[in-house]
Structure 1
């Protein structure tokens, strides 16, 4: 296991910076996720850690050892990719053994360690099969076993579940998280799937255009996003335009609906409210909204509405047997004031403060 320290990391392709002066400290044994849309620089940063990409600026450390100029084969890392990357001509057992054989480990130790991995990954019955006889999820278990059997200081995973169907992704991400906790390897995980990131990570770094927007726990990022990009990228989010009257400490959403709330500004200003669908509730007062659609999701029903500002909003309510809703019905909706975030008009700054509901 090893702590990872990144100081002022820069990656360029020609004159274009794709990783822009990133500073990170990933703790020993932590499950750390780089999350963001395609092209944000997350995989590039992972490959810099691995040694597969050149470094145009900054320093990378495993523990106290600077690794910038260290060959990838000397960094003691395990890698898991989205395309499984198992050897098709080898059995499952021989695939898992590969790293230990390359390190000239004795045959008895190889057998013992491989048997442990087969059991840990729950693929014992497939030990003598070739990869083509396995499902995608089983092949990825083989790839994961091969990566961790060498006891790497750092495990790097690049979109390892993106080629699997939805049900299998959920099953395997739970397996990955359980195994990572059991073996305690410092893990850096790349994904664009925010639900996946929230389900498995100790901390998440949300990236955009080569810059880390926010680095925190999933709970903090969800409840207290630093800007509107993070608020919109993590979970479902309603953006509602409003005006802040600083003197009266009121948020004016419409002529008939205002919230008493003190923000971190002394000036009157246009603002954006960030409200999760579950933080909007039916009431006999509040915003008068029109129902335009509803979707039954089992435990919950998702309502699409138009608010007084002609903005579409989503409201998530618990489902019940006789629940009906006529399209174009008028309903009143209130905002759970203690749950909302309020941003400047350009979305760059959260005006609510640093605390969040834990």
Structure 2
């Protein structure tokens, strides 16, 4: 009976009953309880149940000498073997039916945990760790820490999350992993794996000083991915790279993965590019605002300005945002002369009385309105 698992079982059971519930291991040691002060104490009745023939023992009154309290104690079985005891404190006549249900619940939950464990055994430790990050919303720090300790990984080192999407990646997956594993910039602190969508996702460990981090991290990513990008480009494959927010706490790793997936889903149809999460903060924050709140802010403008205006607006703002408000580059993106773009922008400024080229507050408003209009 694992004490961490027992503790989780007690937490779940406590959501459905006010009775005190204890779980004792195969040695009769109380490993989990709603009465935290009792954890670690020896439970004589539980020891007798584990080593005897009785599966259920009812105690009519408290025994101050042994510390055993009145209640019902029942053996916990997995694979037809006694692995522990569950006890419910209270008058035996009152709590017997409750104890039976709790015993059954504990056994079912233990079977499920064992099933998950067996399912995970086919993965190596690094794959198990990444599997938790990819697909588990309910892990606790201990769930990740045990893998980091087993793999001798530093939990607090700076790591950059990187999602790599490659056309027909399943065909090239073996070669891609070979290139990444053989990279001279690879660190033993790097962790990663392929996702169910056949993306490559990894956390690149870096030793960069925090004072140089923001100015250097894009170059570090570029150096690390250079051999892979050379291979991809030589074969004229379509790809995108998504670089998420840098982390130094394992509890935020899953969110960093989800942030990369958010970019993959929301960065439009651009190809053969690298996207950096910190460059899209306004758009990310906007995506977290409920549609009803966004409508309350912008629906009036959308309705009153009409489709002709909003179509021109979204096309113009997309180019300006994409090219960091460089008019010449934005014009090239739209295949129009710079002066034509200026004319379009003047029409927008006349209506909204805002100029995104000179006023940051007005730029933020106009970008939010743009993200509202393109929101699906």
Q: TM-score, normalised by structure 1?
A: 0.27
Instruction: State the TM-score, normalized to the length of structure 2.
Output: 0.26
Which one has a larger percent strand, Structure 1 or Structure 2? Answer: 1
Normalized per residue, the structure richer in helix is 2
Larger radius of gyration between Structure 1 and Structure 2: 2
Higher relative contact order (CA 8 A, sep 6+): 1
